[in-house]
């Protein structure tokens, strides 16, 4: 409540001086101030208008009936007018930002106003995660069994606060508290029983759409849950491949750009070729009202999302999410499961200084394979599988080769240890680091 009072009657100067409000940037404060004042003016105007109308109705009826009848009819007519008038008085003003007109199958990507207020009132109590990035090594082992079985999976949707970069925080919406969510691994023919829980601290409804599922909404129609609820669905994994899963609760794009995505691998019956190391990487876009590098808690900007102008394009949820945690050795074979949470960009995935020996294009398993690939396309809401062998030690930079996105955070590092291989790569290098 102190934060709401500060927004309504405080000044930007004394807000900045308060340590308990340090996570809110001045721009976010001014936007929230305008939002609150606008809403209060609308409510005040509506109440005054209906009060005047009620008095007028009472005065007319009182001329022909008793005071009691006049009061009853006035209350009924004012009540009916209130519910009929509200949708027109606030056509799009009960979401933030106001007046955002879109033409999708559900309400636009603005956030419900009551949830915005609740977040600013209770956000200080929301869980703060030390690192939002899913460890790229966190990949379940290949499946050794040779027959299908029933597999049980539990996931939890949870809204948390974490750093995008030092001093820059976002309100992430997650599966199991990280971006991306857990890597799921099943076998072709398996029957999957998936239970989805929504943490009680969440402000929003969530669900899950798995692109590996054949059925309406990919499971979304069976798993829509309010905070504190859980639901269970079953599906049969019919098609081998690497598939994206994500939240598909309206507005889908808004949920995905808060970090609600992951990958599920349906291994073919014969399995995938064996490699020494597997890594899990997903690219995502984040849209904030504050500019690139703006300190403080950054608020989601729906208009920038519609315009396709993200402030941050990153791997595994944050800047440097893949730095210091991808390691391998010369002579080893590596597989990268790469996905794209979207929601606007196609990723041009490339490892600087390496050539993909084999690519499963668009993560298709059972179709044609690409050989000796420099850069592979990963569609928004899609994936790819890249295999390659390590011949030379050094630091290999993972990028989206739409290279301006490096400056927004789309890069990582694969560190390769081992003996030099002058036959493949040799010479003297100047000090410092180099890209292409």
* Boundary-marking domain end, from 89, 124, 159: 124
Domain total in the chain: 3
**pLDDT of 38 over the 70 cut:** no
Please indicate whether residue 125 or residue 90 has the higher confidence score (pLDDT).
Answer: 125
Q: Within this chain, do residues 21 and 114 fall inside the same structural domain, yes or no?
A: yes
How many separate helices (H) and strands (E) can be counted in the chain?
A: 7, 22
Please indicate whether residue 81 or residue 357 has the higher confidence score (pLDDT).
Answer: 357
Please indicate whether residue 317 or residue 61 has the higher confidence score (pLDDT).
Answer: 317
Residue-wise pLDDT tens digits, 50-83: 778 777 778 888 778 887 887 887 788 777 766 6
Q: Within this chain, do residues 291 and 351 fall inside the same structural domain, yes or no?
A: yes
* Boundary-marking domain end, from 124, 143, 172: 124
Residue 430 lies in a domain: no
Query: Which residues is 339 bridged to in the sheet?
Result: 282, 383
Residue 49 lies in a domain: yes
Confidence of residue 380 (pLDDT cuts 50, 70, 90): very high
**pLDDT at residue 431 in the model:** 52
Confidence of residue 14 (pLDDT cuts 50, 70, 90): very low
CA distance 59 to 238: 70
**pLDDT of 19 over the 70 cut:** no
Residue 202 lies in a domain: yes
Residue-wise pLDDT tens digits, 392-436: 999 999 999 999 999 999 999 999 999 999 999 999 766 544 555
Helix (H) or strand (E) holding 385: strand 383-389
Long-range CB contact pairs, 399-407, < 8 A, 24+: 399/349, 399/350, 399/351, 399/352, 400/283, 400/313, 400/345, 400/347, 400/348, 400/349, 400/350, 401/348, 401/349, 401/350, 401/375, 402/345, 402/347, 402/348, 405/313, 405/345, 407/292
**pLDDT of 336 over the 60 cut:** yes
**pLDDT at residue 264 in the model:** 98
Q: Within this chain, do residues 84 and 164 fall inside the same structural domain, yes or no?
A: no
Residue-wise pLDDT tens digits, 152-200: 999 999 999 999 999 999 999 999 999 999 999 999 999 999 999 999 9
Residue 354 lies in a domain: yes
* Boundary-marking domain end, from 98, 124, 150: 124
Average pLDDT of the segment spanning 327-335: 98
The mean pLDDT value of the chain amounts to 87
Helix (H) or strand (E) holding 265: strand 261-267
Q: What is the CATH number of the domain that holds 310?
A: 2.60.40.420
**pLDDT at residue 63 in the model:** 77
Q: Within this chain, do residues 269 and 162 fall inside the same structural domain, yes or no?
A: yes
Please indicate whether residue 111 or residue 149 has the higher confidence score (pLDDT).
Answer: 149
Query: Which residues is 384 bridged to in the sheet?
Result: 338
**pLDDT at residue 182 in the model:** 98
Residue 423 lies in a domain: no
**pLDDT of 10 over the 60 cut:** no
Average pLDDT of the segment spanning 35-54: 68
Q: Within this chain, do residues 40 and 146 fall inside the same structural domain, yes or no?
A: no
Residue 424 lies in a domain: no
Residue 426 lies in a domain: no
Q: Within this chain, do residues 106 and 204 fall inside the same structural domain, yes or no?
A: no
Q: Within this chain, do residues 371 and 396 fall inside the same structural domain, yes or no?
A: yes
In whole angstroms, what separates CA 162 from the centre of its chain?
A: 13
Confidence of residue 30 (pLDDT cuts 50, 70, 90): low
Where in the sequence is the domain holding 13, given as residue range(s)? Answer: 2-124
Residue-wise pLDDT tens digits, 225-256: 999 999 999 999 999 999 999 999 999 999 99
Q: Within this chain, do residues 174 and 269 fall inside the same structural domain, yes or no?
A: yes
Q: Within this chain, do residues 148 and 239 fall inside the same structural domain, yes or no?
A: yes
- In the sheet where 327-329 sits, what is the strand order? 327-329, 411-417, 394-400, 347-351, 375-378
**pLDDT at residue 40 in the model:** 64
CA distance 349 to 165: 22
**pLDDT of 89 over the 70 cut:** no
pLDDT over 90, % of the chain: 69
Q: Within this chain, do residues 200 and 297 fall inside the same structural domain, yes or no?
A: no
Residue 422 lies in a domain: no
**pLDDT of 24 over the 60 cut:** no
Q: Within this chain, do residues 141 and 267 fall inside the same structural domain, yes or no?
A: yes
Q: Within this chain, do residues 340 and 234 fall inside the same structural domain, yes or no?
A: no
């Amino acid at each position: 409540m102190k934060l709401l009072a500060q927004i309504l009657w405080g000044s930007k100067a004394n807000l900045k001086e308060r340590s308990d409000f340090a996570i809110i940037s001045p721009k976010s404060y001014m936007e929230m101030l305008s939002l609150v004042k606008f809403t209060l003016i609308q409510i005040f105007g509506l109440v005054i208008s209906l009060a005047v109308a009620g008095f007028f109705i009472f005065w007319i009826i009182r001329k022909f009936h008793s005071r009691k009848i006049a009061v009853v009819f006035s209350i009924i007519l004012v009540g009916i007018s209130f519910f009929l008038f509200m949708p027109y008085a606030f056509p799009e003003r009960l979401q933030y930002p106001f007046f955002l007109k879109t033409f999708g199958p559900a309400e636009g990507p603005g956030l419900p106003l009551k949830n915005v207020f609740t977040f600013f009132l209770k956000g200080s109590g929301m869980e703060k995660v030390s690192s939002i990035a899913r460890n790229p090594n966190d990949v379940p082992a290949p499946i050794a069994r040779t027959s299908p079985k029933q597999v049980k999976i539990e996931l939890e949707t949870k809204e948390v606060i974490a750093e995008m970069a030092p001093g820059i925080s976002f309100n992430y919406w997650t599966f199991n508290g990280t971006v991306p969510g857990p890597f799921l691994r099943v076998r072709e023919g398996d029957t999957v029983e998936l239970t989805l829980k929504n943490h009680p601290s969440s402000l929003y409804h969530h669900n899950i759409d798995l692109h590996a599922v054949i059925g309406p909404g990919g499971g979304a129609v069976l798993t829509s849950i309010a905070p504190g609820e859980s639901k269970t669905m079953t599906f049969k994994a019919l098609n081998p491949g690497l598939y994206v899963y994500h939240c598909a609760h309206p507005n889908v794009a808004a949920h995905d750009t808060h970090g609600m995505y992951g990958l599920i691998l349906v291994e073919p019956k014969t399995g995938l070729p064996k490699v020494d190391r597997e890594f899990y990487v997903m690219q995502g876009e984040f849209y904030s009202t504050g500019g690139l590098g703006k300190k403080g808690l950054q608020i989601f900007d729906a208009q920038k999302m519609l315009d396709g102008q993200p402030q941050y394009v990153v791997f595994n949820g944050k800047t440097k999410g893949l730095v210091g945690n991808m390691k391998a050795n010369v002579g080893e074979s590596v597989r990268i499961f790469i996905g794209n949470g979207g929601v606007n960009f196609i990723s041009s995935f490339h490892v600087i200084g390496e050539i993909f020996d084999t690519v499963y294009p668009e993560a298709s398993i059972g179709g044609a394979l690409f050989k000796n690939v420099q850069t592979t396309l990963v569609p928004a809401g899609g994936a790819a599988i890249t295999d390659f062998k390590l011949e030379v030690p050094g630091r290999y930079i993972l990028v989206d080769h739409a290279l301006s996105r490096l400056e927004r955070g789309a890069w990582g590092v694969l560190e390769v240890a081992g003996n030099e291989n002058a036959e493949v790569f040799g010479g003297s290098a100047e000090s410092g680091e180099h890209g292409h």
